[in-house]
């Protein structure tokens, strides 16, 4: 069977099910507080009207899903060398992506997609307003063929037919060979030793958001007073917060472990010519192509426990949408968890051409500790004593926790300062940072697009400043360090960029 991508194509017919599930999920997420209220007060509603309303919503979602499927088409414009996506229900949109702007193509499969036998193809682009395009339901053979064509970039030929048969996957397998496989034991080690702060923040945010939604929608349910007022007092809330701080670590470890195994199960890295194919996932499977020439920043992260267990996590940032901020680019980085030292070195050599050595070191000024001390010690302690004196004297019952808080925060600030370093050699810049999770960011000078060197007027007397290295994969900051030395480094990097023959992509 042949397929001409120059003609508009729709997704597989079963894509209607995917569209329905996606639309239904978005509707439930938007209305879940109201749905909870309805469930709590279901006995007060007319069952017939409730059933008719639910059926109407169900039919409306099904109609929207069908029109989303019907109006979604994709094709290759060989003449203009563009990938064309058309979509929309009421407002139709046409997105044209130049083939040379496509940075990455991933083939993924959720649980629902696995059940009905289709795959999703995601296209990551750079320099466009829309960061990611997703085709939610196509066959595996079609996904492989389209992925190969998109990653090949622009071609001279204006009309090409692509055979889609079993030999496509055979060619894919023939030109690949095993590279690295992350074992289940390594994933377990990673799960119990990482992401403590992020998981704690997510749990705390979930609890706070839940209470806010309950409070906001209590009035919609017809309650004259908040139903939780009889149970939640200041003392209960304080004890609950104390419980979170002291006892939540076990839950954090369990959540991290389950999340890591589900997300990264069966992590396999195979080498295909000059690129890597990353395949992983227990419920939602993901297949991502990683090309060394697209890599902008490589980050190696490990903490004390991971060092003892000989594991570390790698994060690779490729050229991405320039409108995305640095935080978003970090979130979309490709992660390779649980690598041992030898695997890490092999990956660095493949992605960067060599295992970078540290070279000359630049340390920050002692003033770097000042801002974190003010933000995490002086302001919280001042707020605590002010609130305790003016609003809630019962807060003084928890004053015994203050020494532990001060000690913990003080240690984290100190180690954050101690680990902060900038290493420079002829080929690489290495920024080290972090208090508990120590990160080493590797970037080659020819990948730099812009350099910012900042010194505020109050920093001139101490001769300190901040340098920012802007790349297509994000920005690396380092300060407060000796301004004179930073300026020398900046001049050297600019010289390397201007005289070097290497390209950033």
Is the preceding omega at residue 480 within 30 degrees of 0, hence cis?
Answer: yes
Which DSSP state fits 9? B
H or E segment at 465? strand 464-471
Q: Which of 295, 229, 268, 290 is nearest to 442 (CA)?
A: 295
Residue 397 is encoded by which pair of tokens?
């019952």
Q: Which of 310, 315, 316, 318 is nearest to 339 (CA)?
A: 310
**pLDDT (tens digit per residue) in 64-97:** 888 888 889 998 888 888 899 988 888 888 888 8
Q: Can you give the pTM of this predicted structure?
A: 0.77
Alpha-carbon distance of 62 to 145, in angstroms, equals: 30
Alpha-carbon distance of 287 to 266, in angstroms, equals: 12
**pLDDT (tens digit per residue) in 172-184:** 444 455 678 999 9
Residue 145 is encoded by which pair of tokens?
């063929």
Residue 162 is encoded by which pair of tokens?
């692509």
Alpha-carbon distance of 1 to 53, in angstroms, equals: 46
| Pairing of the two strands 285-290 and 429-433 | unpaired
Alpha-carbon distance of 93 to 473, in angstroms, equals: 28
Alpha-carbon distance of 134 to 140, in angstroms, equals: 15
Q: Which of 198, 245, 216, 201 is nearest to 437 (CA)?
A: 198
- CB atoms under 10 Å from CB of 311, counted, come to 25
Residue with tokens 């099904």: 62
CATH class of the domain defined by 291-364+420-499: mainly beta
* DSSP string for residues in 300-317: EEE-HHHHHHT-EEEEEE
Domains of the chain: which residue ranges? 2-174, 185-261, 291-364+420-499, 366-416
What is the number of alpha carbons within 13 Å of residue 462 lying toward its C-beta? 17
Sheet holding 334-339, edge to edge: 334-339, 312-318, 295-302, 438-443, 429-433, 421-424, 360-362
- CB atoms under 10 Å from CB of 73, counted, come to 16
Measure the CA dihedral 476/477/481/487, to 10°. Answer: 70
Alpha-carbon distance of 112 to 177, in angstroms, equals: 30
Residue with tokens 């507080």: 33
Alpha-carbon distance of 119 to 139, in angstroms, equals: 6
| Largest pairwise CA distance in the chain | 78
- CB atoms under 10 Å from CB of 44, counted, come to 9
- φ/ψ of 352, rounded to 5, equals -110, -10
**Rounded (10°) angle between helices 196-218 and 15-40:** 60
Q: Which of 145, 69, 73, 165 is nearest to 105 (CA)?
A: 145
pLDDT in tens, the chain (505 residues): 456 788 888 888 887 888 888 778 777 777 766 666 666 666 666 667 777 877 888 888 888 888 888 889 998 888 888 899 988 888 888 888 888 878 778 888 888 888 888 888 888 876 544 456 888 888 888 888 888 888 776 444 333 443 333 344 444 444 455 678 999 999 999 988 887 666 666 666 666 666 555 555 555 555 555 555 555 555 665 566 666 666 677 777 888 889 899 999 999 999 877 888 899 998 888 888 888 888 999 999 999 999 999 999 999 998 765 545 555 566 678 999 999 999 999 999 999 999 999 989 999 999 999 999 999 999 999 998 898 888 777 777 778 778 888 998 999 999 999 999 999 999 999 999 999 999 999 999 999 999 999 999 999 999 999 999 999 888 999 989 999 999 999 999 999 988 888 877 7
Alpha-carbon distance of 83 to 174, in angstroms, equals: 28
- Asked if residues 96 and 83 have their Cβ atoms less than 8 Å apart, the reply is yes
Q: Give the 3-state secondary structure of residue 267.
A: coil
């Amino acid at each position: 069977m042949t397929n001409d991508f120059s003609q508009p194509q729709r997704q597989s017919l079963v894509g209607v099910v995917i569209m329905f599930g996606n639309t239904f999920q978005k509707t439930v997420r938007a209305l879940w507080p109201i749905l909870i209220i309805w469930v709590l007060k279901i006995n007060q509603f007319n069952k017939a009207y409730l059933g008719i309303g639910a059926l109407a919503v169900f039919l409306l979602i099904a109609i929207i899903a069908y029109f989303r499927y019907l109006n979604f088409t994709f094709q290759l414009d060989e003449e203009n060398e563009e990938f064309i996506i058309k979509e929309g229900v009421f407002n139709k949109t046409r997105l044209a992506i130049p083939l040379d702007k496509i940075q990455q193509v991933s083939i993924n499969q959720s649980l629902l997609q696995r059940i009905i036998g289709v795959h999703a193809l995601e296209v990551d682009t750079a320099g466009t307003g829309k960061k990611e395009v997703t085709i939610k339901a196509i066959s595996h053979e079609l996904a492989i063929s389209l992925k190969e064509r998109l990653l090949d970039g622009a071609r001279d030929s204006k009309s090409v037919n692509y055979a889609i048969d079993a030999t496509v996957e055979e060619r894919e397998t023939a030109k690949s060979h095993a590279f690295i496989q992350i074992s289940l034991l390594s994933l377990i080690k990673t799960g119990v030793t990482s992401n403590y702060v992020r998981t704690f923040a997510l749990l705390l945010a979930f609890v706070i958001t839940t209470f806010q939604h309950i409070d906001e929608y209590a009035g919609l349910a017809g309650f004259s007073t908040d139903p939780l007022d009889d149970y939640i007092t200041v003392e209960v809330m304080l004890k609950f917060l104390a419980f979170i701080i002291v006892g939540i670590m076990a839950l954090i470890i369990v959540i991290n472990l389950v999340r890591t195994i589900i997300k990264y199960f069966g992590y396999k890295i195979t080498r295909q010519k000059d690129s890597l194919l990353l395949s992983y996932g227990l419920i939602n499977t993901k297949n991502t192509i990683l090309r060394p020439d697209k890599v902008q920043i490589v980050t190696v992260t490990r903490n004390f426990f991971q060092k003892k267990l000989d594991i570390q996590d790698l994060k690779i940032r490729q050229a991405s949408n320039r409108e995305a901020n640095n935080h978003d680019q970090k979130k979309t980085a490709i992660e390779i968890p649980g690598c041992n030292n030898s695997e890490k070195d092999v990956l660095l050599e493949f992605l960067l051409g060599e295992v970078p050595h540290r070279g000359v070191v630049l340390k920050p000024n002692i003033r770097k500790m000042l801002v974190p001390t003010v933000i995490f010690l002086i302001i919280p302690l001042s707020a605590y004593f002010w609130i305790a004196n003016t609003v809630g004297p019962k807060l003084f019952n928890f004053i015994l926790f203050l020494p532990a808080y001060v000690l913990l925060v003080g240690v984290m600030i100190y180690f954050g300062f101690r680990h902060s370093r900038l290493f420079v050699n002829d080929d690489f810049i290495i920024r080290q940072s972090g208090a508990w999770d120590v990160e080493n960011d590797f970037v080659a000078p020819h990948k730099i697009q812009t350099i910012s060197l900042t010194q505020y007027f109050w920093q001139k007397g101490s001769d300190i400043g901040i340098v920012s290295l802007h790349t297509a994969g994000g920005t690396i900051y380092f300060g407060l360090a000796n301004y004179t030395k930073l300026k020398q480094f900046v001049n050297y990097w600019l010289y390397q960029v201007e005289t070097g023959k290497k390209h950033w992509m």
